[in-house]
Amino acid sequence: MIMSFNDFQTTYLSEVTNHMIGKVKALDLPDHLKESMIYSLQAGGKRLRPLMVLATMQSFGRDPKEGMAAASALEMIHTYSLIHDDLPAMDDDDLRRGNPTNHKVFGEAMAILAGDGLLTFSFQLLAEDEHLPDEKKVELIALLARCAGPEGMVGGQVADIEGENGELTVEELQSIHVRKTGKLLMFSVMAGAIMSDASPGELASLEEFAYHVGLAFQIQDDILDIEGSEELIGKPVGSDESKHKSTYPKLLTMSGAKEKLAYHLNGALDSLKRVNRDTDLLEEIANLIAVRNH
């Protein structure tokens, strides 16, 4: 292993953030729009998605810096989706990671437009990147749009809203999560692999890896909502229950959910073994996701 994920994160987390902020700062925009976009990009979080893009490139012996546009575009799309999800017409959240949500600071109209701006700009970033050849840009743009668009994240968000208060089966719950959060995680690994000229076999194994990691991530989220520490996860424990949301522990019992988490973690690690590269960083990320406490 070249470095631990902790070291990798220390190096690249701030680099991704600085890259995104720098790109938005360089735009010629109305002041409030720029502030609103930067406010949410700076709000932070684990930056799991862009770090997975870069970690995948590292596994293939590539320079992670060449994936900065794809990593930033992905994180901008994730950020826009949080801004729109928090709106009064959607989840109506006042706080995110302990800070006021975008619309509480800048108003609803600006929050909608900042989200639209980040979404649109993410495709510009990819199309204008100086490292990638046109063929890769087109492949990444098509994949990102499929993962983030109506058949991906947007469709998952609709299915999630429509599934609220209803009784879902495990299959329905899984189908929502695969679209709502899984597809963007899938993009992170696939984008890194595409930029590293991975073989079709490697791409297939990494897609399977990302599928399992995405579901493990969501199951652990549901478990933390019951067993987690309020201080660490930054929101009240039991909020899924009080919103009558379908969750893995609710549908499968807590021990059933933990079994499923172990199943997907193993599935992720097995898929990774079929990739004959230095995938220690990706393995560490999968393990961290499954045992994280926030």
Rule CB under 8 A: say whether 21 interacts with its own copies. no
Rule CB under 8 A: say whether 20 interacts with its own copies. no
DSSP codes of every residue in 192-217? HHHHTT--HHHHHHHHHHHHHHHHHH
Q: Which is nearer to its own copies, 34 or 277 (CB)?
A: 34
- Residue 141 C-beta: closest distance to its own copies, Å: 4
Q: What are phi and psi of 96, to 5 degrees?
A: -140, 125
Rule CB under 8 A: say whether 158 interacts with its own copies. yes
Stretch of residues binding its own copies (CB under 8 A), selected from 130-138, 189-197, 220-228, 250-258: 130-138
DSSP H or E segment with residue 11: helix 5-25
Rule CB under 8 A: say whether 214 interacts with its own copies. no
Q: What is the largest CA-CA distance in the chain?
A: 53
Rule CB under 8 A: say whether 87 interacts with its own copies. yes
Rule CB under 8 A: say whether 50 interacts with its own copies. no
> Number of C-alpha atoms within 13 angstroms, CB side, residue 226?
16
Q: Coil, strand, or helix at residue 123?
A: helix
Rule CB under 8 A: say whether 45 interacts with its own copies. no
Please pick, from the candidates 155, 226, 234, 252, the single residue that binds its own copies as defined by CB under 8 A: 155
Stretch of residues binding its own copies (CB under 8 A), selected from 45-53, 127-135, 197-205, 286-294: 127-135
Rule CB under 8 A: say whether 167 interacts with its own copies. no
Q: Which is nearer to its own copies, 28 or 231 (CB)?
A: 28
Stretch of residues binding its own copies (CB under 8 A), selected from 12-20, 58-66, 128-136, 245-253: 128-136
Are 153 and 81 in contact by the 8 Å Cβ rule? The answer is yes
Q: Which is nearer to its own copies, 91 or 283 (CB)?
A: 91
Rule CB under 8 A: say whether 90 interacts with its own copies. yes
Rule CB under 8 A: say whether 145 interacts with its own copies. yes
Residues listed for the chain: 294
DSSP codes of every residue in 226-276? HHS-HHHHSS-TTHHHHTT---HHHHHHHHHHHHHHHHHHHHHHHHHHTS-
CA 109, CA 212: separation in Å to the nearest integer? 37
Nearest CA to 213 among 97, 55, 107, 42? 55
Please pick, from the candidates 13, 17, 21, 33, the single residue that binds its own copies as defined by CB under 8 A: 33
Q: Which is nearer to its own copies, 111 or 223 (CB)?
A: 111
Rule CB under 8 A: say whether 294 interacts with its own copies. no
By 3-state DSSP, what share of the chain in percent is helix, strand and coil, each rounded to 5?
A: 75, 0, 25
Q: Which is nearer to its own copies, 139 or 207 (CB)?
A: 139
How many residues bind its own copies (CB under 8 A)? The answer is 50
Range 136-143 contact pairs with CB under 8 angstroms and sequence separation of 24 or more: 136/194, 136/195, 139/194, 140/70, 140/191, 140/194, 140/195, 143/187, 143/190, 143/191, 143/194
Residues of this chain that bind its own copies (CB under 8 A): 24, 27-30, 32-34, 37, 80, 84, 87, 89-90, 107-110, 112-113, 115-117, 119-121, 123-124, 126-128, 134-135, 137-138, 141-142, 145-146, 148-151, 154-155, 157-159, 161-162
